[in-house]
Every structure is written in structure tokens, then in C-alpha cells.
Chains A and B, each alone.
Chain A
Amino acid sequence: MEVKLRNPNVIMKLSRLGSFHQSKLSFLRSFLKEFKDWEYKRGLFELDEFGHGTAVYSFKKNTRVYSLICFANELNEKERSDRVIATKWDAAFTLYDGVPSKQDLDRLRNEVPRQEVGRLSYKELTLSRANKSVRAFNHVVESLSQGKQPDIELLSKIGYLYRTTAVYGSGKFGLADRFRIKHRKEIYGPFRLEMMLVYLVRQFTFDQVNHIAKHKNSRKAVSLDLEICRNLGIGNSTGLGMAPFIVNHPTLLNNWIFARETALKNIREIKNVKIEDSDLFKLCLKKSIKNITSWTTDSNYQQKKIRSLLNDLKKFIEFMETNFDFSKEFSFNEVYLWVEKNLEEECIEYIVSMMMEPYDDIINPLINKMSSEEEKFFNIPTERTVLDLKKILEEKYLEILKIDFSKKENNQNFWFISKNKEEPRMADRFKENGSDLEQPLAIARDIKKLYEVLLVTKSSSTIDKFLAINNHLRHVVRRAFIVEKFPYSEIQDNTISQSIIPIDMLRLKLSFFGALKFDPRSDKWLRICMFQGAPLPNELKNYDAHWVYNSIN
């Protein structure tokens, strides 16, 4: 039986993309898998009694070494902010390519804590900063210094000791360009070095908290219980900066979604599902419910989604237990068809993620196809005709072409880059100044404009002639030819409408990172948790691949 890939016009809607969950394809899980055989080491650890100073952690295999350099600094309470406008943080980090010398450390000590206004070099691969969750951090220090383990209930509400507020890579602020390292097999997967940085930062937070507690009360202090460590992740605050990324990298977006869709298709095409595989699916599903019941947020929007997810999961588990027989042929296909018919988007995508759990043989080859050589598809095929382009738009942008952009609500917002932080922002075009400097992120509107011009252009005319008089539409002409080849490269929604929920775009990207517990703080930024439940670096050699469902929180 051949199952068709799901329709991009359905899957690429923002409400669907904003319902995606972590899965076996997620970058933090594939990072752990890739680096499990590497030698982990904590090198330099020079912190004062308050935990301020420098530390270095590394992963090594043969002659290749990646080193995380941590600079922990004193921070005035009033200066602590997760917002991108902050200029100081509790700690700043960079991932160094190799083993840093003393001169490197001295140079980076001056640059890394300054983040966006510092300068990095081609030897540094990623850059980040993080703030303490003061409530959790102080409680843990206090408890450990008194010889007690901290209150698990409090920690489970927060989930981490530190949260990063940005992680940069790929040439930002002088960091190494991707072309310098892209042929390294171990990082042939998106954001792998960013994941490494976050993972090692997590270990630093445990070492720092133990260090401070010991200095506070050297006679009584105990170390943080390893089981508690495993159940703490790293938090992350993410704002709109992430949203344009998925619009600006269409082939990469396609490759992520295509991997997910191909995995689902292949699983639905399995004729006879082995008992151990269906058992693993059911086990992961049941264990994962803890991740939902411990998912706390003040956001009404997210609370509603969590309630819907829990209700639907109950419905699904009841269906599994009472009406379902995995010994029937193509049983995962039947599961999917039932889910699609009976459940909401949030739960549909949850089950899709869960269906991947038993299938390393399907998932592993797909992980290596999730990067993209974007440059290859940059040139516009100008020998093609206006008729070709018109057909592409009619086929690939069917819903978009129905939008009436003369209506105010469909043209409400605009995306811009803020002058003070050089970060993407969104604003109401009818209330705020600046729409004349709009970024090219209103793809739906510009595609519609392109279509209207094509309708009054001679069909046999070639694209080079068309562009000679319509170069203002060049950016969407390029996109249309990319979408022709890459079906999941375009968001099938209006990114400037009144009703847009930008955090759906963030959620899509973060789900591929492997984030859990999305906690929207507004419609434009959210907090998440990464690596909660993950093995510690010295446990990687024999870790449980389904760790994500082992959290006790």
C-alpha cells in the first residue's frame, strides 16, 4: 500500500505548524545520538566562592575537540532581564573550535560577555548567554549548603536553573561561517553546535550550584542529586527573532518538514507492525503524559491547547485500549486515519511524533537529510515562461491567492528590523510608523501581487523578459520556483494578517529543536525547556534513547 505525503496546504498552515511537538527527529536528540561516543571532559574550572569565573568543558574524538567556554559574572539584580534589550547576563558562553589557549581565553573574556557588541572570530562557532532562574537557583544553593536536597515540586514547576536568552551561530558577530565546517560529518544536522552549547551549559549550571553551596558551608554541603540533575533542563526565552528564520530559509524549512512527513508516510506503510514496536509506541505515549500534566503556563492560549491535548489523548488511549488491534495489517495507517478524523491539531501532531519512537531504521537516514545547500537553488530559472510561473502559483499557493489584501485585516501588520537591536519585530501598519521599511516577509501578499501581474502578461514571455520590467517582484519569483521543487518550503498563511499568532512560527522551529513545555508569555515571545530528562554528559555511552519521557517532573 502506498500512502501519500500529507498535503502541504494543510500541514503548512500556521495553526498546524504551531501544534508540532518534539520527536525523534529533533535536533537535541539527534545531537546526543551523534556525540554519545565522544569523550566528555570538564577542563578548567576557576570559579570564586560566588560562582563567578571561567570554566571550560569539551567533547573530543580523535583529533577533533569542541570546547564550551563559560564566563560567569556578577550581575546586579536590577540588571537581570531576559529581554533582548539586556546588556548584561549571569553567564555568557561560546563554543570554541579546538582547545582554547590562555590568549584565547583572555581575548574571549573581553568579548563574550558583551554578546552582540563583542567581536568573535572564525575559531568560535556559537555564542550564547543565560540568566539564572533566581528562585530555583537560590533555593538549590540554600538547600545543598544545608546538606539537603532541594524541593522537587518547586524545581518541577520551573524545570531549570538557568535559561538562555539567545543562541547565535553561522557567522553572527564574526563567528565562523557555516561553509568552514559544513563538511564535518558529526555536525551534518541543523543546529548541532547550538545544541552542544546548550547541553554543556546545562552541566555548567549543576557544577556551579554545587560549587557555590560547598563554599557556603563546606562541612555540611551535599552535591545535587544526579536524578534531580537529569530532570532539570535548560530554559530558553525566545522572541520574534526566530520567526523570520523559517521564512528566510525555505529549502531548510522544507527539509525539516519533509523528513517528518516522510517518516509518517513510511510508518503508515508498514504492513505488519511488530508487537515490540506497538508496545514501545504505547509505552512512550503513556509515559509522555507526565510531560503534559507538568506543563504549566499562565497563557490562556496555551492552557486551552494543553486541555485539548489532554482530552484528546484520553480519547485516543481509550480507543487504543478498547477498539484497536495492532495485529491488523497497516495498523499505524489506521491509527493515523482515526486520529486525523477524531482529534484536534495539537494531538494529531503529538501522536505523529510518538509514532516515530519505535523506528530508528526509518528515522536515522532522514536525520542526515535535514540540512540544506541553499545556494544551489538561489538562481532563478529565467528561461522558463510566465505560463509556467502562473501554473506554479495556482498549484502551490491556492489558498493564498484567495486572500483579499485590500481588506485592512489582511494587511494589518508589517515586519521590520529594530534599529537599536537589529532584531526582527512586528507592528500594526495603521498605528505605527516604519511600514515603508517593511522586511520582505509578507510572502502571501507579494505572491498575490505577482499573480495579478502575471495575469496581464503574455503567457509565452520568458521570465528574463518579465523580470526586466518587474524586478520589484523578483524575491517572490525566486520563491515560487523554489516552492515548485520543495513542497513544504512555504508557510501557507498570511504572516501580516490581524489574526496572526507569531508564536506559532516560533513553536514550529522550537519543536524541531526538541523543546518541551512551551510557555507563551505573550503572542510574541515564549519560554521553553530543553534537555529535561536527558542523560548527563558522562552517561552518554549507554543512554536510553527515550529519555525524553523519563522525566519525573
Chain B
Amino acid sequence: MKSLSEIDTTSKRASRAAGYSWGISEEVGKNIRMLEMFGLPGIKNLNDFFKKKKKYQFENLNLISLNNKTVKSHFCPIISGTSFLDQIKSLENLNEIKFEKIGYPLLFLPFVSRASEVVGKRLFLKLDDREFLLNFNNNIYSNFIKNNIIEVANFVSIQFLNNVDSFLEKEWNELYQLSEDTFVEETDSLKQSGAGAGLTDND
């Protein structure tokens, strides 16, 4: 089994050899390491992407907007992803960002996951019918479990999820009430002796 350190270094060097700057290649190394750690097929997709990169002439997306449409080909997942991560602070107030045709979108995903950590919000990524909930770059919840190559996602959307509870207040209260059953009812004596400061803590 390859170590994550080997995966990082080899992906970085391969990206440089494929024509990306050293700085971008460093990002790719970290991203593929992350995908593989989360059990997603990073190496497989990166390898195939580099093999087809020349033929497909992927389009660079340097400035992210609300709706991002390609002119001719597919968006390059690495440059689009880098732009998304770099510009995330100015994008976070939008509810949803859409893209058309991102090539090898699994290579775009780690940038979105890292952006989730930067803005402190969960991001919901849809690659056609594949869904990914990106939780602050700590884990990924998804309906995609196949270890395969995705050459293109025709419709991509990223929703910024507000930091709200996933449960109703009523459900919380019920659970809280149950937790109170671990508390001890205080007598007058316990009130005086139970806490360290006693009654003279304002002296």
C-alpha cells in the first residue's frame, strides 16, 4: 500500500510535469492525499486527467461567478478549484454557485472541501446526480461510493449551508430533560458545601 506521503509527493511532481506551477502542484499533492484518505479515487482520476489533458484542451476558470459556463470545452478542475478556494471569502455570501461542465470533477472536490473549512460552513456539492456533503474538511458524506473515474460533470452546484441545528427545538428539549436525570437535587446543606467558593466568594 502506498503511504499518503508518497501519494502527496508523486501527485505534486506529476502535476508539475503536466505543466502546472509549483504552487498549484503543491495544492494538487495535498488534495489527492486528502481524497485517498477519505477513500475517494484521487490517483485514478488524476492519472486519467493528465493522460487526456492535452487532447481535451480544458478551459481555465480564473474568476468564479454565480453561473459559470464554458465557452468551448470543459473547465479544468484544478484551475477552477484553485480559483474557488482562493476566492471563497468573497463568494461565501452567495447561496448557490453553478458550473457547467467541469472535467474530472473529483479533482475539483478537495478544493471545495478545504473551502468549507476556510469559511466555517458546510458545503453541499452536486456533480450531476452524485451528492457530497463537505463538513469543514473533516469528513465527506456522499451517495458516491464507486471507485471509478468521472470524466465530466455537466451540471455542478455548490450550496452554502447555514450553520443551523439539524434538529427541532422540541427534540433538543426532550433530550435535555432526559439528561437532567443525571443531576442531584440540592438541599440547603449541599448548596453551602457543594461548590468550592461557599457563601463568601464576593468578599
Contact = CB atoms under 8 A, between A and B. Distances in A.
A419 to B, nearest CB: 12
A456 interface: no
Contact of B26 (A467, A468, A475): A475
A59 B192 CA distance: 52
Contact of B3 (A172, A378, A379): A172
Nearest to B21: A472
Q: Interface majority SS on B: helix, strand, loop or mixed?
A: helix
Interface stretch (B65-73, B81-89, B121-129, B144-152): B81-89
A474 interface: yes
Interface stretch (A173-181, A196-204, A272-280, A512-520): A173-181
A51 B83 CA distance: 60
Interface of B: 1-6, 13, 21-24, 26-27, 30, 62-63, 79, 82-83, 85-90, 114, 118
A375 B114 CA distance: 11
Contacts of B22: 440, 474-475
Nearest to B90: A464
B63 A468 contact: yes
B174 to A, nearest CB: 36
Contacts of B87: 382, 464
B62 A468 contact: yes
Given A174-B6, A474-B21, A478-B23, A122 B30 contact: no
A471 B89 contact: no
A478 B21 contact: no
Interface string A475-495: 111100000000000000000
Nearest to B118: A379
Contacts of A378: 26, 30
B23 A471 contact: yes
A279 B144 CA distance: 69
A174 B3 contact: yes
B114 A379 contact: yes
A17 B30 CA distance: 30
Q: What 7 pairs across the A-B complex have the smallest Cβ distances?
A: A474-B23, A171-B5, A171-B3, A475-B23, A440-B22, A464-B86, A468-B62
Given A468-B83, A471-B23, A171 B4 contact: yes
Contacts of A471: 21, 23-24, 79, 82
Contacts of B63: 468
A171 B4 CA distance: 7
Q: What secondary structure prevails in chain A residues at the interface with B?
A: helix
Nearest to A479: B23
29 contacts: A121-B1, A170-B5, A171-B3, A171-B4, A172-B3, A174-B6, A175-B3, A177-B5, A378-B26, A379-B85, A379-B114, A382-B87, A382-B88, A383-B89, A462-B90, A464-B86, A468-B83, A469-B62, A471-B21, A471-B23, A473-B23, A474-B21, A474-B22, A474-B23, A474-B24, A474-B26, A474-B27, A477-B23, A478-B26
B96 to A, nearest CB: 20
A118 B177 CA distance: 59
Contacts of A170: 5
Contacts of A540: none
A177 B86 contact: no
> On chain A, which size bracket covers the interface?
20 to 34
Contacts of A440: 22
A380 interface: yes
Nearest to A179: B4
Contacts of B3: 122, 171-172, 174-177
Contacts of A174: 1-3, 6
Interface in A145-188: 170-179
A175 B63 CA distance: 41
A201 B90 CA distance: 56
Nearest to A170: B5
Contacts of B26: 378, 474-475, 478
A172 B6 contact: yes
B82 to A, nearest CB: 7
A378 B34 CA distance: 13
Given A171-B5, A468-B63, 9 more contacts: A171-B3, A171-B4, A172-B3, A173-B6, A380-B86, A382-B85, A464-B89, A473-B23, A475-B23
Interface string A372-395: 000100111011000000000000
Interface string A425-462: 00000000000000010000000000000000000001
A382 B89 contact: yes
A148 to B, nearest CB: 48
A172 B5 contact: yes
A173 B82 CA distance: 30
A98 B90 CA distance: 50
A238 B30 CA distance: 28
A75 B27 CA distance: 44
A248 B89 CA distance: 28
B18 to A, nearest CB: 13
A253 interface: no
A140 interface: no
Contact of A463 (B6, B79, B86): B86
A467 B64 CA distance: 13
A471 to B, nearest CB: 5
B21 to A, nearest CB: 5
Contacts of B13: 417
Contacts of A467: 82, 86
B26 to A, nearest CB: 6
A122 B21 contact: no
A118 to B, nearest CB: 14
Nearest to A478: B23
A174 B1 CA distance: 6
A335 B22 CA distance: 46
B59 to A, nearest CB: 14
A371 B4 CA distance: 19
B23 A177 contact: no
Contacts of A477: 23
